[in-house]
Amino acid sequence: MRMPRKKDAKEHHSPSDQNTSPSTPRSVAIIPCYNEEATIGRVVEKTKLYVDTVVVVDDGSTDQTAEIATNAGAIVLSHETNKGKGAALKTGFQFAVENKFDFVVTIDGDGQHNPDEIPAVLGKVMTNDYDLSIGFRVGHNTEMPTWRRIGKRVLDYTTSLGTGGFVTDSQCGFRAFNRKAVATITPKLRGSAFSIESEQLIRAYESGFKVVNTNITCRYKNLQTSTKNPASHGLSVLSSVLWIVARQRALLVMGVFFLFFLLIGLVTGINIA
């Protein structure tokens, strides 16, 4: 079954698209992209080795991302304008739901993630009783700059407020889902930017899904991993996640603010006395 054309998304099929038996579990990789012509071809070629279908969601790129991805063997869904990573992932998830894929992998198109690690990430939901597998960037092989480590930890703690437990890597885009998780989480996603990764975990928690961490490597050196200023980008994601948590756990947030102002009042009172 093909995905109906949407007003804001055009679909391009590769001549090498493969059809598998309906009785065989099928997997699809979703790769959100924005101006990643330098890396997307190789990412698609390597990803094809481990899944049945590769879908690249071209989020309004102005370079040759869509053409290169198509030539590499991917199905390309194109947004006419740049809508954000969250919007791109939702387009890909909707494609997966409508085409009844059993397992979904998400991986970035900038070369940051290693497609050779797909079996490890995907295997946790294919052979174990887990609904969602999160790539966990840890150790020296991640090449993660110090400022990213600090920002990651802040966002991990913030996301944890909405999940009821500590989240180890809330911002990693290398993940795997089973069909039930994708079908349940997708309609609940509201964000359109990079906060989508945190929101996925919060929605998974709300739905009672089992989440597992999978250690992965990660490249940063000599890669253009972001088109935005790091500080403004981080603050934007943080504010979005805080808003999601505030709506999801209103009583907790109100309690934190009440305690904060109570402490200020006590300190002020002591100083005046």
Residue 4, domain member (yes or no): no
Mean pLDDT (the chain) is: 79
Q: Any idea what the CATH number is for the domain that residue 163 is in? A: 3.90.550.10
Name residues whose C-beta falls within 8 Å of residue 164's C-beta, 6 or more positions apart in sequence: 205
What is the per-residue pLDDT for 172? 87
| Confidence band of 168 (pLDDT split at 50, 70, 90) | confident
Query: Where is average pLDDT lowest: 1-10, 59-68, 261-270?
Result: 1-10
What is the per-residue pLDDT for 142? 67
What is the per-residue pLDDT for 2? 37
Give yes or no for residue 41 having a pLDDT over 80. yes
Domain count, the chain: 1
Residue 3, domain member (yes or no): no
What is the per-residue pLDDT for 250? 57
What is the per-residue pLDDT for 143? 61
Q: Where are the extended beta strands (E) located within 179-265?
A: 211-216
Residue 188, domain member (yes or no): yes
> What is the domain range of residue 143?
9-272
Parallel/antiparallel/unpaired status of strands 103-106 and 175-178? antiparallel
Residue 2, domain member (yes or no): no
The predicted model gives 93-119 an average pLDDT of 97
Between 47 and 270, the higher pLDDT residue: 47
Residue type at position 229: N
Distance between CA atoms of residues 70 and 55, nearest Å: 9
Between 89 and 247, the higher pLDDT residue: 89
What is the per-residue pLDDT for 5? 40
Burial-class residue 261 by CB neighbours within 10 Å (0-12, 13-18, 19+). Answer: exposed
What is the per-residue pLDDT for 195? 74
Between 164 and 83, the higher pLDDT residue: 83
Between 130 and 229, the higher pLDDT residue: 130
Reported as a single tens digit per residue, the pLDDT across 250-265 is 555 555 555 556 666 6
What is the per-residue pLDDT for 15? 43
Q: Which helix (DSSP H) or strand (DSSP E) does residue 260 occupy?
A: helix 250-272
Global pTM reads: 0.73
Residue 1, domain member (yes or no): no
